[in-house]
């Protein structure tokens, strides 16, 4: 039986790579994107594609229903992936900035997940794969909004996994460190839109943040291509007993280990210095 998967955020980076990789592997992929022109180019490449904007409930419902209409009501897997990073010091995060970060990275994902769960429960199988981050379990300066959104995803996923125990519907978190994508370019846009740099106590530090975000090519050691995430997604889809968590990249393994053995105080010393990864 051909396995079906709905993926969000397929215009670039990890979403695009996973959509392509799974299609090559024989999956029936519904490669969704936020913008109309992204959908157009995915269609040109032969994908089944339609709009799914995580900030818009109507769009989420339409995309989900359209997927089920095409599959006859079945869905093997959901890959929650579309998201963005809003850089900025916590003291500069106004309510509307935090709300925007959570609308996309948390509320949209959960709304879509809550549409998928009843379908998967009913059919008696399913996989929900959440593209979290190393920043879903350790914090870095100037990443507060993004950190909070990924911590929220980790919390919701951990709880949902317990609630789905025994249902044959599995929830897996992927926790990448730095991956080459448009993530930094998109973060620059979010920074310009939501942070009042001129009136910030951290005005000068933002110049360093912008320089790092605008630098072409990988700025962090151990940056991997998105295929590294694809590999873990394939395991989460095909293993009989998929893992609750998949680490990707050296920084994730390193910080996962350090978080286990160090006190919060000691870990803070390292994290305060290491301001350069996603």
Ligand X SMILES: NC(=O)c1ccc[n+]([C@@H]2O[C@H](COP(=O)([O-])OP(=O)(O)OC[C@H]3O[C@@H](n4cnc5c(N)ncnc54)[C@H](OP(=O)(O)O)[C@@H]3O)[C@@H](O)[C@H]2O)c1
Under DSSP, is residue 55 helix (H, G, I), strand (E, B) or coil?
coil
Name residue, tokens 């929650």. Answer: 80
Q: Is 158 or 189 the residue whose CB approaches ligand X more closely?
A: 189
Name the minimum Å distance from CB 229 to ligand X.
Answer: 7
Torsion angles phi and psi, residue 29, rounded to 5:
-105, 130
> Is 143 a binder of ligand X (CB under 6 A)?
no
Q: Is 35 or 215 the residue whose CB approaches ligand X more closely?
A: 35
> Is 182 a binder of ligand X (CB under 6 A)?
yes
Q: Identify whether 170 is a catalytic site residue.
A: no
> How much helix, strand and coil, in percent to the nearest 5, is found in the chain?
55, 15, 30
Task: Note whether 7 and 226 are within 8 A (CB).
Answer: no
Shortest-Cβ-distance residue relative to ligand X? 13
CA 44 – CA 113 distance, rounded (Å): 28
Q: Is 13 or 21 the residue whose CB approaches ligand X more closely?
A: 13
12, 110, 200, 274: which one contacts ligand X (CB under 6 A)?
12
Strand partners of residue 127: 77, 170
4, 131, 147, 157: which one contacts ligand X (CB under 6 A)?
131
What character string, x for contact with ligand X (CB under 6 A) and - otherwise, covers 81-120? xxxx-------------------x----------------
> Is 147 a binder of ligand X (CB under 6 A)?
no
Buried/exposed 251-275: b ≥16 CB within 10 Å, e otherwise = bbebbbeeeeeeeeeebeeebeeee
> Is 133 a binder of ligand X (CB under 6 A)?
yes
Contacts of 67 by beta carbon, 8 Å cutoff, 6+ apart: 4, 6, 30, 75
Q: Which entry of 16, 76, 146, 247 is annotated as an active-site residue?
A: 146
Q: Is 84 or 246 the residue whose CB approaches ligand X more closely?
A: 84
Residues with a known catalytic role: 146
Residues of this chain that interact with ligand X (CB under 6 A) are 8-9, 11-15, 33-35, 38, 52-55, 81-84, 104, 131, 133, 176, 178-179, 181-183, 186, 278
């Amino acid at each position: 039986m051909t396995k079906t998967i709905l993926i969000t955020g397929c215009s670039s980076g990890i979403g695009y790579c996973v959509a392509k990789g799974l299609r090559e592997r024989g999956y029936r992929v519904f490669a969704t994107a936020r913008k109309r022109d992204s959908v157009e180019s995915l269609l040109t490449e032969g994908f089944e594609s339609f709009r799914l904007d995580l900030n818009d409930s109507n769009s989420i419902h339409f995309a989900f229903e359209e997927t089920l209409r095409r599959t006859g009501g079945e869905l093997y897997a959901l890959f929650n992936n579309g998201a963005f990073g809003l850089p900025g010091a916590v003291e500069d995060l106004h309510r509307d900035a935090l709300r925007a970060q959570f609308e996309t990275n948390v509320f949209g994902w959960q709304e879509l997940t809550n549409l998928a769960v009843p379908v998967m429960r009913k059919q008696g199988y399913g996989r929900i794969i959440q593209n979290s981050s190393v920043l879903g379990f350790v914090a870095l300066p100037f990443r507060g909004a993004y950190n909070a959104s990924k911590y929220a995803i980790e919390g919701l996923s951990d709880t949902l996994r317990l609630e789905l125990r025994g249902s044959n519907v599995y929830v897996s978190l992927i926790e990448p460190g730095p991956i080459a994508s448009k993530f930094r370019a998109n973060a620059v846009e979010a920074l310009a839109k939501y942070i009042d740099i001129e009136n910030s106590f951290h005005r000068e530090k933002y110049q360093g943040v912008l320089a790092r975000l605008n630098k072409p090519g990988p700025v962090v050691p151990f940056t991997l291509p998105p295929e590294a995430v694809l590999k873990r997604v394939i395991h989460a889809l095909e293993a009989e007993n998929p893992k609750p968590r998949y680490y990707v990249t050296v920084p994730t393994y390193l910080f996962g280990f350090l978080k286990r053995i160090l006190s919060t105080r000691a870990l803070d010393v390292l994290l305060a210095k290491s301001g350069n990864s996603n």
